[in-house]
Amino acid sequence: MTVDASAHLAAELIRDEPYYRPVGDEIDLFAAAYAGRLPVMLKGPTGCGKTRFVEHMAWRLKRPLVTVAAHEDLTAADLAGRFLLAPEGTVWHDGPLTAAVRLGAICYLDEIVEARQDTTVVIHPLTDARRALPLDKKGELVPAHPDFQLTISYNPGYQSAVKDLKESTKQRFVAIEFDYPEPAIEAEIVMREAGVAAALAGGLVDVGLRSRNLRGDGLAEGASTRMLIHAAKLVRGGAPLDAALRSAILLPITDEPDLREALAAAIAASL
Ligand code: ADP
């Protein structure tokens, strides 16, 4: 039996500083959590900077980053690894989580709540005093490298009775709260990320605020910072503003014509 090393290539050492505009004490909090090797949960709506923050922290802490986007078909074997048939016989392939555990990487499980609960429990032994990953199929207990750390993201807005983290999973993490930044900071981010002028960025942030006010009235989420950046990039690329808003915000955010109309009216009022 051999161990395939290709999964280790999935770990990325980030060489150039990923731009991250801090909004509070999140950098110091994460650094303190990492110093104690505590598992961290980044809690907040979609597109508000959680992934960018982890990339920035991995760069700051000089640790490789392994990112896994969770989805409902993600199995424990997708995370931990599996035997695969090869010409020379059965070969064990480490999954991305196992690769991160062996290597001492930061493992980021994005949108963990999308995964089934029987998948989520594989992280439990890594998040308590055991700090080890049992590979049942292989009969191996992989002790975590001293530098290994686990971070997950969690969007409380999606919470439903069927899709939620088990209480026993939640309580293993220290949480850092994320939200869309205050307007001046969000405009700074849109300017920087899309390379647009302050006036356009400010106008788009206003659109974002108005859309977020419609949350609850049928709209699950308002326009995220990511969406505002998309709109700004379309304008920078030559699209007229109304077409950019339609393509980057109105169409992706809802399939409901009535709701789209309400949002379009709210947007028109802010321009
Ligand atoms: P999430 O992981 O919360 O869904 P992302 O981290 O992918 O969101 O953020 C979406 C985009 O918004 C990023 O690619 C980045 O361009 C931008 N962004 C959001 N917040 C920040 C921030 N504080 N600093 C820098 N960029 C940010």
CB burial of 167-202 (b: ≥16 within 10 Å; e: otherwise) equals eebeebbebbebebbeeeebbbbbbebbebeeebbb
Atom of ligand 1 nearest to the CA of 53: 6
- Give residue 2 CA to ligand 1 midpoint distance, Å: 40
Amino acid identity of 158?
Y
The span from the CA of 107 to the CA of 67, in Å, is 6
Radius of gyration of the chain (CA): 21
Whether 225 is in the pocket of ligand 1, judged by its Cβ within 6 Å, is yes
- Give residue 49 CA to ligand 1 midpoint distance, Å: 3
- Give residue 3 CA to ligand 1 midpoint distance, Å: 36
Task: Report the nearest-CA residue for atom 6 of ligand 1.
Answer: 49
- Give residue 87 CA to ligand 1 midpoint distance, Å: 44
Hey, which of 14, 224, 225, 249 would you mutate to test ligand 1's pocket, going by the most ligand atoms within 8 Å of its Cβ? 225
Task: Report the nearest-CA residue for atom 27 of ligand 1.
Answer: 49
102-159 per-position pLDDT tens digit:
999 999 999 988 888 888 889 999 999 999 999 999 999 999 999 999 999 998 876 5
Q: What's the start-to-end Cα distance of the chain, in Å?
A: 64
Query: pLDDT > 70: what percent of the chain?
Result: 94
How many CA atoms lie less than 13 Å away from 85 in the CB half-sphere?
A: 0
Whether 67 is in the pocket of ligand 1, judged by its Cβ within 6 Å, is no
Task: Report the nearest-CA residue for atom 8 of ligand 1.
Answer: 47
Task: Determine the pLDDT at residue 262.
Answer: 86
Atom of ligand 1 nearest to the CA of 110: 2
159-204 per-position pLDDT tens digit:
555 567 888 888 999 999 999 999 999 999 999 999 999 999 999 9
The span from the CA of 181 to the CA of 186, in Å, is 5
Strand 89-94, strand 81-86: pairing: antiparallel
Whether 233 is in the pocket of ligand 1, judged by its Cβ within 6 Å, is no
The span from the CA of 2 to the CA of 138, in Å, is 11
β-bridge mates for residue 153, sequence order: 42
- Give residue 91 CA to ligand 1 midpoint distance, Å: 38
50-108 per-position pLDDT tens digit:
999 999 999 999 999 999 999 999 999 999 999 999 998 999 999 999 999 999 999 99
- Give residue 134 CA to ligand 1 midpoint distance, Å: 34
Residue with tokens 């009535």: 258
- Give residue 225 CA to ligand 1 midpoint distance, Å: 7
pLDDT band for position 237 (cuts 50, 70, 90): very high
CA-CA distances (angstroms) from residue 180 to 186, 205, 212?
7, 10, 10
Name the 3-class secondary structure at 199. helix
Tell me: pLDDT of 267 over 90. no
- pTM (two decimals): 0.93
Task: Determine the pLDDT at residue 7.
Answer: 46
